[in-house]
């Protein structure tokens, strides 16, 4: 099962979601069962490393990030089983791409998995460290619920 995390620039929220997801899989010995990637709806940061503030905040929270920016492509709708948008604006941008409607059942909001509430993962790009920490905490608890849900789904399939 392949999961794709999507934000705007692919340097703050989605590479962090991917890194937290992979970190939790490692800790639970589930790395063989699921794979993940991240991308942006925009092409501003293609080939670039994540925002240094995201890298620093993730490290503070014990999570390493290893990712280079890439833009979402229509091929991703075929290649991934679940596509999670960080906010409503990115969800709209994803659904506007050719072929998206055929795969709309795979495309959801990240915070559909947040046990503490729905809505957007706020964009921290113009913010400061507390904004990056707030994003980390939203993603940490949402990804926990995501992993629980995927494991349950997988055990129902087998
Ligand atoms: P992200 O944050 O979508 O979470 O990666 C942003 C990164 C870059 C820009 C906007 C948001 N930007 O305008 O360059």
The torsion angle over the Cα atoms of residues 120, 9, 30 and 63, rounded to 10 degrees, is -90
Query: How is the chain split into domains, by residue range?
Result: 2-157
Q: 109 φ, ψ to 5°?
A: -90, 140
Reading the chain (158 residues) residue by residue, the pLDDT tens digits are 999 999 999 999 999 999 999 999 999 999 999 999 999 999 999 999 999 999 999 999 999 999 999 999 999 999 999 999 999 999 999 999 999 999 999 999 999 999 999 999 999 999 999 999 999 999 999 999 999 999 999 889 87
pTM of the complete model beyond 0.95: yes
Q: Which pLDDT value is given to residue 157?
A: 86
141 is catalytic: no
Residues with CB under 6 A from ligand 1: 7-13, 44, 123, 125
Atom of ligand 1 nearest to the CA of 90: 3
Atom of ligand 1 nearest to the CA of 11: 5
Atom 8 of ligand 1, nearest CA residue:
9
CA of 151 to the centre of ligand 1 (A): 31
List the beta strands (DSSP E) in 22-87.
Answer: 35-40, 82-85
Pick the CATH number of 2-157 from 3.30.70.260, 3.40.50.2300, 1.10.1240.10, 3.40.50.300: 3.40.50.2300
């Amino acid at each position: 099962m392949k999961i794709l995390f999507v934000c705007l620039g692919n340097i703050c929220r989605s590479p962090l979601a991917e890194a937290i997801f992979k970190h939790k899989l490692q800790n639970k010995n589930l790395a063989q069962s699921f794979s993940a990637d991240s991308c942006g709806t925009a092409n501003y940061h293609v080939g670039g490393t994540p925002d240094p503030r995201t890298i620093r905040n993730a490290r503070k929270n014990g999570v390493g990030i290893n990712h280079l920016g890439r833009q979402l492509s229509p091929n991703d709708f075929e290649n991934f089983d679940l596509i999670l948008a960080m906010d409503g604006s990115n969800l709209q941008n994803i659904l506007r791409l050719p072929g998206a409607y055929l795969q709309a059942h795979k495309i959801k909001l990240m915070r559909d998995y947040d046990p503490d509430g729905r809505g957007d993962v706020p964009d921290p790009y113009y913010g400061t460290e507390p904004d990056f920490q707030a994003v980390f905490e939203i993603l940490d608890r949402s990804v926990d619920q995501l992993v629980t849900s995927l494991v349950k789904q997988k055990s129902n399939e087998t």
